[in-house]
């Protein structure tokens, strides 16, 4: 065809050629002319943003004036060809980049190359202040095997040869993702400065303890690279440390991390050991000595439960006493197992760990876990290397949503045991909103349910929402990049996570945008090899947010209030005293949102975006009088943006967190918060009508260590007084003493209607102090078989207790036993109190 228009419009084609083309190429061609037709040239592509220097993110669209042009481009300095990336959508620029583009049109010669260099100079982030407490920072979750190979001598150790994929990090597409890839504790140590530069305040490392040494075969996955197939809790695995299973690499890491201000949290599986019928068949060792395997566990007091796999996750007995994923299910109330698991925990404390992520706490014996928390609280040994300041922070995995049957049990368990939980129920909503573009209402409703409670389910709210451990990605679910998120969505998720209430956990590699979509990104393809440790727009964002958390106590300890919401826009506020952080996210891909009717605690004034527009944010103006409800002048929130507006100011003494939340008299607890002052004031504990001052062993403006005074056990309140100002009353529970797990069981119970549950109550705080409500009595107890009940309760060592089972009917009425039972709790070990229902 004769492309007349193209010829005329074609830039850069000499007029002579145009004329020649007109002569030669059109009008049917002259017979007798030997001049070949001249092909017109496509116009070079044009960029929507001029080349130059910018201090904010840019998004560059490429167009071409030649009709039908296909555009190919590069960003790596190579000359584009038709094999280069085909342009389809604006290119986000988060770092200095040269874009080179080529237009290709059928019937035309290719365009000349258009080129533009964009220099992105983000403003440096504010400094990250030293912090006293993990709430003021964030935790970085590491699958040790996939992070960095710092010691190649342990890649294929002689104790367990052949489990190593040498090409894992370098060539994941051709590697076996179920083998070890070589990452180790030394590797984490070598990358601490990378973590420190982002403001990481703590690392949660996958279980470092000694794992099974053989391949567990296809039906059970393959190797224990993930760390969850423990065989010996007293040793460090040869892949992560050294071939003598010593603690050297672990201690070196803890020492170096602490020197960099980074706490170490160890993932600790107490529910199970390793696969049944494969691998080492549930082998259990005590510092190198074989104790049992699953099939040789035939003694009178078995180490393991020998039940089927859990099939009903709504059944309290199944989840605690059945088998999780074919993993040999430890009986924590076997006295040897009880002592072993607690010795191993305190051994880790002696090696300087700052806390634990407890694996599968829903599937472990709930009542026993109270005594695990109590053991940690009462441990007062010496740590070498030394622990970071503050009592150990513990959090457990209860992998359910708020719609699941045992959600009320999870709230009760966390509140009454002192075990903080990973905020799995919020996680599902974060993955939905940031991974698959769900509605912000889902997050907002979830926060309301967890933090304020519900009248429709028999659960209270979580007592300390700021102690919940929040995350949007982890090692058990596809990364949001595999669920549909792009890089901007990841950065919005990071922005939310690090400003939401709770202690945030960032999954390793999200800041480098790593993901693999094989099998939709499910395990093991979410356990990617970390190959990049460079700074980029995401690490810069994290620095900004870490600096904010460290500087403004409203983020660590404040309230969280929704201020404006629709499906795509979420504006919420953190507030503590005069510290206010207002966050606005618009995740809509193309629609700016007019915001009117926004009220804030921010005092009147003009607020620039704390993120310096690196996320496309803007300035706002607040009017009114400095109260809690000042109007923001109407503004338009840009699409795909995050803005943060901050005000710092006076904070009265404010307790944000008490660690542990439950302890007996004599135990040292850490009060974290703000405004305590630098001179020691007073800490008071109150139970009922008794208020007693605590002995204070350490006092700083943000952290106090105080010893629980001798008070009756029960619900308590803690306050800090500095001068004339007294803090909020933080909830705390005084327990009676050291706690011993006791298996309370009953047989011959009444026949239960479908809405009936069996509960337990007794005359000590740990048995509910005689309470007969769902929330305050013990239970619902598990039902091993019809007509029986079994409930482990961690009860005061040596105490003689009176107890009684009762049926709690769906309407709240009760049918109790005809009398009560008496039992003396042993002073060590594990107790058993078996009774027949007394009619
Ligand atoms: C939960 C862990 O997060 C998961 O990765 C592991 O496979 C199971 N617990 C069993 O230990």
CB of 725 within 8 A of CB of 653? yes
Mutate to test the pocket of ligand 1, among 142, 223, 228, 273 (most ligand atoms within 8 A of CB): 228
Say how far apart CA 641 and CA 333 lie, in whole Å.
52
Quick one: what percent of the chain has pLDDT higher than 70? 95
Report d(CA 381, CA 390) in Å as an integer. Answer: 14
How far is it, in rounded angstroms, from Cα 336 to Cα 300?
Answer: 13
φ/ψ (deg, to 5) at 292? -165, 165
CA 324 to ligand 1: nearest atom: 10
Q: Which of 397, 451, 511, 766 is catalytic?
A: 397
The Cα 310–Cα 136 span in angstroms is 38
Which residue is associated with the tokens 């005809």?
Answer: 818
pLDDT at 3 over 60: no
Identify whether the C-beta of residue 615 lies closer than 8 Å to the C-beta of residue 641. yes
Q: Which residue has tokens 């969280």?
A: 560
Q: How far is ligand 1, taken at its centre, from the CA of residue 784, in Å?
A: 25
Q: What is the pLDDT of residues 565-590, one digit of tens each?
A: 999 999 999 999 999 999 999 999 99
> Mean pLDDT in the chain?
93
Please tell me the predicted confidence (pLDDT) of residue 124: 81
Q: Quick check: pTM over 0.85?
A: yes
pLDDT score for 317 = 98
Confidence of residue 798 (pLDDT cuts 50, 70, 90): very high
Q: Which one, of 343, 304, 341, 344, lies nearest residue 324 by Cα?
A: 304
Rounded CA gap, 516 and 487, in Å?
A: 14
Q: What is the pLDDT of residue 218?
A: 62
Strands 393-396 and 420-421: parallel
What pLDDT is recorded for position 120?
Answer: 86
- d(CA 645, CA 581) in angstroms, rounded, equals 6
Task: Note if 648 is an active site residue.
Answer: no
Position 56 scores a pLDDT of 75
Q: Would the pLDDT of 253 be above 90?
A: yes
Please give the Cα distance from 674 to 720 (Å, whole number): 11
Vertex 39: Cα angle to 38 and 43 (nearest 5): 130
Return the closest-CA partner of residue 390 out of 204, 669, 708. Answer: 669
8 A C-beta contact, residue 412 and residue 398: no
- pLDDT of res. 91: 86
Least Cα distance to 276 among 303, 306, 254 occurs for 306
Residue with tokens 């923001």: 632
Residue 37 pLDDT level (bands cut at 50, 70, 90): confident
Distance of CA 475 from the midpoint of ligand 1 (Å): 9
Q: What is the pLDDT of residue 35?
A: 67
Pairing assessment for the beta strands 739-747 and 788-796 based on DSSP bridges: antiparallel
Q: 381 C-alpha vs ligand 1 centroid, how far in Å? A: 30
Q: Whose CA is nearest to atom 7 of ligand 1?
A: 228
Write down the pLDDT at residue 19. 33
Name residue 607's beta-bridge partners: 620
Nearest to 701 by CA among 554, 553, 558, 503: 553
pLDDT of 236: 98
Stretch 331-357: mean pLDDT, rounded? 98
**Cβ atoms 773, 817 nearer than 8 A:** no
Could you tell which of 145, 233, 268, 269 is best to mutate to test the pocket of ligand 1, judged by most ligand atoms within 8 Å of the CB? 269
Residue 327, C-beta contacts closer than 8 angstroms, at least 6 positions apart: 228, 229, 271, 272, 273, 274, 275, 276, 282
Asked whether the bond before 524 is cis by omega within 30 degrees of 0, the reply is: yes
Per-residue pLDDT tens for 759-788? 999 999 999 999 999 999 999 999 999 999
Q: Of the residues 359, 421, 469, 525, which should be mutated to test ligand 1's pocket, given the most ligand atoms within 8 Å of the CB?
A: 359
Residues with Cβ within 8 Å of 392's Cβ and at least 6 positions away in sequence, in order, are 349, 353, 354, 355, 356, 376, 659, 660
Residues 39-54, mean pLDDT to the nearest whole number: 96
Q: Ligand 1, atom 5: nearest CA belongs to which residue?
A: 476
**Which of 100, 359, 363, 409 is flagged as catalytic?**
359
pLDDT reported for residue 261: 97
Angle between helices 366-378 and 407-417 (to 10 degrees): 20
**Where does 199-263 have alpha helices with state H?**
248-259
Residue with tokens 């009248």: 455
Q: Say what percent of the chain tops pLDDT 90.
A: 90
Of all helices (H) and strands (E), which one includes residue 745? strand 739-747
Residue 397: active-site member: yes
Residue 795: predicted pLDDT: 98
Which of 113-122, 197-206, 736-745 is the least confident region? 113-122
**Per-residue pLDDT, 7:** 29
Q: Which residue has the tokens 């080349």?
A: 51
Distance 145 CA to ligand 1 centre (A): 15
- pLDDT for the residue numbered 2: 34
Residues flanking ligand 1, CB < 6 Å: 226, 228, 269, 324-325, 327, 359-360, 397, 475-476
């Amino acid at each position: 065809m004769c492309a007349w228009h193209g010829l005329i419009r074609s830039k850069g084609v000499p007029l002579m050629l145009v004329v020649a083309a007109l002569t030669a190429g059109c009008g049917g061609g002259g017979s007798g002319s030997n001049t070949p037709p001249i092909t017109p040239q496509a116009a070079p592509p044009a960029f929507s943003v001029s080349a130059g220097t910018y201090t904010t993110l840019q998004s560059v669209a490429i167009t071409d004036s030649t009709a039908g042009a296909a555009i190919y481009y590069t960003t790596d300095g190579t000359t584009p060809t038709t094999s280069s990336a085909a342009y389809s959508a604006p290119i986000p620029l988060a770092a200095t980049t040269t874009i080179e583009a080529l237009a290709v049109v059928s019937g035309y010669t290719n365009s000349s190359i258009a080129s533009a260099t964009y220099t992105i100079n983000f403003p440096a982030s504010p400094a990250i202040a030293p912090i006293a407490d993990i709430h003021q920072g964030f935790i970085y979750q590491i699958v040790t095997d996939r992070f960095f190979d710092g010691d190649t001598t342990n890649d294929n150790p002689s104790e367990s040869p052949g489990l190593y994929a040498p090409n894992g990090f370098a060539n994941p597409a051709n590697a076996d993702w179920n083998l070890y890839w070589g990452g180790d504790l030394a590797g984490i140590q070598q990358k601490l400065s990378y973590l420190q530069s982002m403001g990481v305040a703590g690392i949660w490392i996958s279980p470092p303890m000694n794992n099974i040494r053989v391949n567990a075969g296809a039906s059970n996955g393959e190797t224990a690279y993930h760390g969850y197939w423990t065989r010996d809790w007293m040793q460090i695995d040869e892949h992560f440390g050294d071939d003598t299973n010593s603690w050297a690499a672990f201690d070196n890491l803890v020492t170096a991390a602490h020197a960099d201000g980074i706490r170490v949290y160890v993932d600790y599986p107490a529910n199970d050991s390793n696969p049944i019928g494969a691998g080492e068949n549930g082998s259990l060792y005590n510092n190198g000595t074989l104790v049992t395997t699953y099939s040789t566990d035939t003694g009178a007091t078995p180490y393991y439960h020998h039940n089927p796999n859990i099939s009903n996750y709504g059944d309290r007995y199944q989840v605690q006493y059945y088998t999780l994923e074919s993993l040999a299910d430890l009986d924590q109330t076997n006295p040897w197992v009880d002592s072993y698991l607690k010795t191993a925990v305190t051994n880790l404390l002696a090696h300087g760990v700052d806390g634990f992520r407890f694996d599968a706490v829903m599937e472990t014996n709930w009542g026993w876990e109270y005594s695990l928390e109590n053991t940690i609280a009462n441990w007062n040994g010496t740590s070498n290397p030394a622990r970071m300041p503050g009592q150990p922070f513990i959090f457990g995995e209860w992998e359910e949503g708020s719609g699941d049957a045992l959600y009320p049990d999870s709230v009760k368990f966390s509140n009454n045991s002192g075990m903080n939980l990973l905020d799995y129920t919020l996680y599902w909503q974060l993955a939905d909103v940031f991974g698959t573009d769900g509605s912000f209402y889902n997050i907002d409703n979830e926060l309301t349910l967890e933090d304020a409670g519900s009248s429709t389910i028999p659960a209270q709210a979580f007592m300390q929402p700021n102690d919940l451990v929040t995350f949007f990605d982890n090692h058990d679910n596809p990364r949001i990049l595999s669920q549909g998120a792009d890089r901007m969505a990841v950065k919005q998720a990071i922005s939310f996570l690090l400003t939401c209430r709770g202690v945030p956990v960032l999954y390793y590699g999200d800041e480098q945008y790593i993901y693999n979509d094989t099998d939709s990104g499910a395990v093991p393809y979410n356990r990617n090899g970390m190959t990049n440790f460079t700074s980029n727009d995401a690490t810069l964002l994290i620095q900004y947010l870490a600096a904010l958390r460290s500087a403004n106590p409203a983020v660590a300890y404040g309230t969280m209030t929704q201020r404006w919401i629709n499906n795509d826009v979420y504006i919420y506020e953190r507030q503590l005293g005069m510290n206010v952080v207002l966050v606005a996210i618009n995740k809509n891909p193309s629609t700016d949102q007019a915001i009117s009717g926004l009220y804030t605690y921010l005092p009147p004034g003009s607020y620039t975006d704390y993120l310096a527009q690196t996320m496309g944010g803007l300035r706002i103006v607040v009017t009114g009088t400095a109260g809690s409800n000042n109007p923001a002048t109407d503004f338009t929130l840009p699409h795909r943006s995050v803005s943060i507006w901050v005000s710092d100011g006076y904070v009265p003494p404010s307790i944000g967190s008490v660690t542990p939340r439950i302890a007996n008299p004599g135990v040292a607890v850490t009060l974290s918060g703000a405004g305590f002052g630098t001179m020691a004031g007073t800490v008071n504990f109150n139970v009922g009508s008794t208020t007693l001052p605590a002995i204070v062993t350490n006092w700083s403006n943000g952290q106090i260590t105080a010893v629980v005074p001798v008070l009756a056990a029960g619900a308590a309140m803690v306050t800090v007084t500095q001068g004339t100002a007294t803090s909020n009353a933080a909830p705390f529970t005084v327990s009676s003493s050291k706690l011993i797990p006791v298996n309370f069981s009953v047989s011959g119970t009444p026949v239960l209607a479908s809405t009936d549950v069996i509960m337990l109550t007794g005359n000590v705080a740990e048995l509910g102090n005689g309470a007969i409500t769902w929330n305050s009595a013990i239970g619902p107890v598990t039902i091993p078989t019809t007509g029986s009940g079994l409930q482990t309760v961690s009860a005061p060592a040596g105490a003689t207790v009176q107890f009684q089972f009762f049926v709690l009917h769906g309407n709240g009425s009760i049918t109790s036993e005809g009398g009560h039972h008496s039992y003396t709790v042993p002073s060590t070990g594990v107790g058993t109190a078996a009774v027949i229902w007394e009619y």
